[in-house]
Chains A and B, each alone.
Chain A
């Protein structure tokens, strides 16, 4: 009996090893794509990147006629995944979700394991602008109240998600423009920043429009960091109209490893462009507070080039002692 079990087990082991080695050598075909594509997300399932990818997945599968498998390489605020992106085989069968300003800011603040130029963004498809909110029961009712409160309470706490992140940079910029002492309290993990405001543990929250939409009955928006007012939030003033030059959003897109052939990049760029035109995807995404963006490869590169000096300077001038 013992011998019999041993044989079965070794057989299973051999089969597993064989199947593993087979999968790694079948992706050498002329027509792209001919085998499943792995869509790697660098943040935990359930977050904004995941929700977006899940909406895209069925449409992409139809457009490219191959299965799209979503997998996760998480940690280091996305950095672990992006440093692996730079060493992945550039055959178009592994694509990575990317985020701005993360891929600009992380290499600026330390050894991130990748350089901004190594991330070849094929398409940036959505963004979530920063929005400053307070609880419904807060004494603060308007952005003007917020300024007064901050003056009376130097170091008032404003929560946000991650650091350095779009939220933390938006608050740093606001503190700089208004000459106020604001304390950014970074929260990690899903939900903790939300409970911090719901439970009244922080005075205000710098968050994303997609988060605010979920709590619009409980929170009061003060100002949104966009160029103009948003269609889904027509009553919320922009920082710009209030006299503060603060535009800050987290962009999400997709990138391929450096050295990916031109024809593959074009196929992917067009596929993601078409996904963004799908009325069902647009409707679902906008309902959840996402802003659709349409930056193709060249425009994405221009966007990164345009934002890099801004963030470099912002990080330089708001550096903590």
Chain B
């Protein structure tokens, strides 16, 4: 049995990827469908969350839930002109205050104290040579990168060389991060091709290539085929 869901998904993927050749109407149709579907879904989810988390319990007697609703409505004051515009600051300050309060305690423990303790207690002896070297790199990198962000003294003398090593570690980190970005994009491509090539959507591939060929021929004939170096 033909899976229409896979065929529609495959067609939309091919339509979106047609942008790689150049901007075209097919791409814009798929893009419009994506934006419309996304907005519709977000609206539906938000409405459902409002109904389930707030409206249903509130009308059953939990009237205190109307307090956050009131706070939420105050956000609209941002769009007012006149003496009541300041009201939007009430929910903003409430969200900021509670958010910061919630996060701060955890940040100090997880991101600061635990990290410093982990570096201090990293063993250099009593472990395998590979592990000891690996731990030494961690300690060196932590120390030298910290000095890169040490601005109270000019980076001269010994500090110049320390920060140079720190910058090298930072560049290695950024390279690793960039490689991760590439890997993620590759994975997206692989998963999309998996949908097309391993389902009923595979029949759309020759059609797509024929349409691409016609498009290239049309552009060439009309002098629109341009180099995209």
Whether A associates with B in a native complex is: no
* Interface residues in chain B, defined as those with a beta carbon under 8 Å from any beta carbon in chain A: none
* Interface residues in chain A, defined as those with a beta carbon under 8 Å from any beta carbon in chain B: none
